Amino acid sequence: MNGTRVKVTIRCRLCGERFVLRGKKEKERIETGFKQCLCSNNSDFDIDTE
């Protein structure tokens, strides 16, 4: 079963870097493959979906 494709904008709260990705939405979870920011932050993000 294929998930719905969504546009995901991830902004790092530490350095302000922005990433725009496409992810798969399955049930309540969105999978983008994103691991961490360039500043090595891996937990403090603002995440918006469209």
Joined together, the tokens standing for residue 35 give 């691991």
Per DSSP, which regions of 1-50 are E strands? 4-12, 18-26, 29-31, 45-49
pTM above 0.75, yes or no: yes
Q: What is the pLDDT along the chain (50 residues), one digit of tens a residue?
A: 577 899 999 999 999 999 999 999 988 889 999 999 999 999 999 999 98
> Residues 26, 15: contact at Cβ < 8 Å?
no
